[in-house]
Structure 1
Amino acid sequence: MSTPIARPRVSLPRPTPVQRLGLLLGSIAFVVPLLVEIPGLEPAGHRMLAIFLLAILLWVTEAIPLYATAMLVILLQVLMLSDQALVGGVGPLPSAASYFAALANPVIILFLGGFLIADGAHKFGLDRSLAAVMLRPFAGNARSSVLGLMAITALLSMFVSNTATAATMFAVVIPILAALPAGPARTGVALSIPVAANVGGIGTPVGSPPNAIALGALEASGQGVSFVGWMLLAVPLMLVVLLFAWWFLTRRYIAADTPLTLQLSADFDHSPAAILFYVIAGATVLLWLTEPFHGISSSTVGFLPVVALLATQVMGADDIRRLQWPVLWLVAGGIALGAGIGNSGLDAWLVGLVAWDALPLTILLLLLVGVSVGLSTVISNSATANLLVPLALSLAIGLPIDPTAVGVMVALACALAMALPISTPPNAVAYATGEVPTREMVVSGIAIGGFGALLLALVMPTLWGVLGLL
């Protein structure tokens, strides 16, 4: 007689009161536009408004996982707003394939390549070894050492997930924190990592999910931005905010005579697989940076390392499983949401609710950036970008500003929200070390994020125009 195999019990997570409320309010918000006639809104717009309100409430309350909401958006659009809709009567509709195509949008392919390179850099220890080498010129003085930590963190975050970058840099910083006496200096050093990771992530299209969401929405509206084009728009802001953040953190927390010893041991992997990875990753970054010369799109370039690394068996099935698929699906859901808002006419109706053209452009940009930063502080910056980018692009039509600038501004503003442990994954990593009190994270996040938001709203559009970038 065989003994039954004992299987571990799988239990469902218990929803919190906020999540229960989100499910209830989301359900009500979904049903109301389907039952109530809204003046000026077409039938397709009613259905899209139901989906949009449901997505807002589920994302804000995290009643279900963020990526699950993104997938639900695509499913509901197929069932309600496509040629396979369960109930018709709303006029000609896009094909279901057009909504499913969001799962393989060029922006998703771009991020897939970026994630695989980031995973490989961690697998072969390249990220940590590069950090150790690049930190050597900054050793000796506490404030200059923190500048080095922040510069390297920001640089890595431009091409590697800011979450992975923060985790890698804390592996370097933890021994430094242990050697420092308890006090402000430890807080300042610990804060420098998430701040630099958040700010560095705005520098390239693969730096953070909001960038990808904005890229997808811009491409869908015919306002595509190249890899280098994004960098030209974002890197000047990144550098100024990073320098301000270093100045603020060192003046507030780190005295000039604070002793600080960096652990600078680099151990590059010289195995054939590692060397092949270095070549493929380096070639990919070079192709991204030279896109204007060879004309190969950044998404196509992003797919090259996926094929090359898997075909040469430098990376395999286990590496693919470790990729951040939930983030990719979240981005895909945002792309589909933006397409649905445009296809249904909901964007024009929402924009028409307010006389935006009566507001001075400066006030309008401040409001847009402020809402983006504020909402991203309390919910996922990816969810914020999913909700605001399509609306911002619709709002920009007819205003004296390039729609590309508006889409980029929302994405960059989302990255500047860093005042709470829940605001960004790097903040959560820093908080988990126990070295960063919430109060200090709030103070530094408001100061640095506020400075960046003002710069983004008041200075960057003019600078972009003067430089002829838009």
Structure 2
Amino acid sequence: MPDTATTRPRPTALQIGGRIIGLVLFAIPFIIEIPGLDEPGERMLSIFLLAIAFWVTQAIPLFATATLVILLQVLLISSSAILPVTDEAAPAAEYFAALANPVIILFLGGFLIADGAAKYGLDKNLAAVFVKPFAGSARKLILGMMLITTLLGAFMSNTATTAAMFAIVIPMLGIMPNAKSKTALALSIPLAANIGGVITPVSTPPNAIAVGILAANGFRVSFVDWMMFSVPFMLVLMAVVYLLLIRMVPKGEPVEFDAQADFDRSPNAIIFYVVAGATILMWMTEPVHGVAANVVGFIPVVLLIALEVMDGDDIGTLDWPVLWLVAGGIALGDGIGRTGLDRWLIGWFDWSTMPRVAAIAGLVFMAILLGNFISNSAAANLLIPLAVGFAATIGTSVYMLVAILALASSLGMTLPISTPPNAIAFSTGVVPLKQMALIGVVVGVVGGVLLAFVMPWYWTLLGRV
């Protein structure tokens, strides 16, 4: 009998089809001359088409496609390419550098803090402490769960946040008086985790991809800079979600519970609390001290390892695939810009004939739609690199358009497959698919309208245009 621990799962029909389509698309620019593109641009188009096919169909793991993108860029368009290139070709090190981009370092620090919070039980204990004031009624409990999830999700991955919160929520589901109240409580966690993921640059991969591409184009984005536009957007969406959820809960429905916190008081845990707290404080006060967020993010990596608060096993369990996925997106954007592929793709349509707001709305809802069926990271990787050239074409701010698309990529939450938090909530058995889809559609539409029509105005109000 085969060892089930090492047996590879059989690829699905979609994955097989994706591999075939991806390879065919990859070959086309090598076979057919593409009008308006020089040879490096044609090769980059091959890489881009392959990435689209592989990411949309998950023909191979998402992070594997990201690393493949970097390898193909080195082999086809860098100064070390195996085919002839121009004198202007970037050295291979420029593409490999995406793997150690400052944004990757920033995310590495965020991941280590999130894993440390789980290791020392800080996430669950904080949740237990914060939820106590919301005892008494089902509506208050839902509000409390949403606020706590959002707070944790600002500095932890939405998946880790959801898993930690459900450790507290699952026992509470048993004391909820009726089925609709259980559904509302279970839905409050993934919705808050997904929406809360827009708050900071380390909340979710699309944010990191956006910050990395903005940095490559001369924009330094601090935590405060990001939060100036993400927090108002998040607050409006959270209010919409809360109003939708409490419609399912009878007014005054009582709920009593006793969530106990038991903080780890070991020396290592205390060191972790201090280092994590200081890191978050420094992230939030970057305009005061001037130390870049990525530099701050590397401090806990060094301290927690040097002080043996986190060990080699902890480093091994970090979400390295997500880091590589973000790196692939940064490298893809770099290659698209260097080869002029962005200008070529945008030039297919005369965007000057379309109102700016319509063009932005089209991109926003495309990102939301993609985010429902592929990962939000893949959606961001595909669209954000194009936004840099697209912004100039429609006469809008690169910074604004990239940020808007990053937020839009996180709004795909209609189905259980849309995000890991949705899948976790659906697995409880108390969330009907119809209810999840309905609220997900409303959130997507409201969020899309805010991003396309309100955020550009708000951006102008901030004096960023």
Report the TM-score range of the alignment, normalised by the length of the smaller protein.
Answer: over 0.9
CA distance in 1, matches of 2:245, 2:99: 40
1:274 to 269, 273, 277: 269
CA distance in 2, matches of 1:401, 1:247: 34
Q: Are 1:446 and 2:420 an aligned pair?
A: no
CA distance in 1, matches of 2:176, 2:291: 49
Q: Are 1:121 and 2:117 an aligned pair?
A: yes
CA distance in 2, matches of 1:56, 1:8: 32
Matches within 5 A, 1:36-435: 36-251=32-247, 253-435=248-430
1:384 counterpart SS class:
helix
CA distance in 2, matches of 1:182, 1:61: 39
CA distance in 2, matches of 1:43, 1:420: 41
CA distance in 2, matches of 1:305, 1:469: 32
CA distance in 1, matches of 2:214, 2:255: 45
Q: Is the 8 A contact 1:124 1:269 kept in 2?
A: yes
- Residue identity matched to 2:328: G
Shift of 1:9: 7.1
* TM-score (structure 2 length as normaliser): 0.97
Shift of 1:67: 0.5
- Residue identity matched to 1:116: L
For residue 25 of structure 1, what is the aligned residue in structure 2?
A: 21
Q: Is the 8 A contact 1:202 1:211 kept in 2?
A: yes
- Residue identity matched to 2:300: P
CA distance in 2, matches of 1:328, 1:176: 34
CA distance in 1, matches of 2:86, 2:18: 29
Shift of 1:182: 4.7
CA displacement 1:85-142 (0-9 Å, x = unmatched): 0011445211111111100000000000000000011111111111111122222121
2:242 counterpart SS class:
helix
Shift of 1:468: 2.4
Shift of 1:245: 0.6
CA displacement 1:179-220 (0-9 Å, x = unmatched): 224521111110000000000010000000000011111111
Shift of 1:10: 2.8
2:174 counterpart SS class:
helix
The structure 1 segments of at least 4 consecutive aligned residues displaced by more than 4 Å after TM superposition are 6-9
CA distance in 1, matches of 2:136, 2:282: 36
Over 3 Å counting, the alpha-carbon distance change for 1:9 and 1:425 in structure 2 is: closer
CA distance in 2, matches of 1:415, 1:85: 35
CA distance in 2, matches of 1:106, 1:462: 30
For residue 467 of structure 1, what is the aligned residue in structure 2?
A: 462
Shift of 1:258: 2.3
CA distance in 2, matches of 1:469, 1:267: 46
CA distance in 2, matches of 1:412, 1:69: 23
CA distance in 1, matches of 2:85, 2:32: 16
1:10 to 6, 14, 17: 6
1:437 to 432, 443, 449: 432
- Stretch of structure 1 that moved more, 11-20 or 255-264: 255-264
Shift of 1:257: 2.8
CA RMSD of aligned residues (A): 1.4
- Residue identity matched to 1:448: V
CA distance in 1, matches of 2:355, 2:239: 30
Q: Is the 8 A contact 1:232 1:469 kept in 2?
A: no
- Residue identity matched to 2:243: W
1:179 counterpart SS class:
coil
CA distance in 1, matches of 2:36, 2:26: 19
2:136 counterpart SS class:
coil
Shift of 1:264: 2.0
* TM-score (structure 1 length as normaliser): 0.96
CA displacement 1:23-78 (0-9 Å, x = unmatched): 11101000001110111111100000000000000000001000000010000000
Q: Is the 8 A contact 2:414 2:441 kept in 1?
A: yes
1:176 counterpart SS class:
helix
Q: Is the 8 A contact 2:143 2:242 kept in 1?
A: yes
CA distance in 2, matches of 1:262, 1:436: 21
CA displacement 1:222-245 (0-9 Å, x = unmatched): 123112100111011011111111
Q: Is the 8 A contact 1:110 1:300 kept in 2?
A: yes
* Matched-pair identity in %: 54
Shift of 1:394: 1.2
Shift of 1:453: 1.3
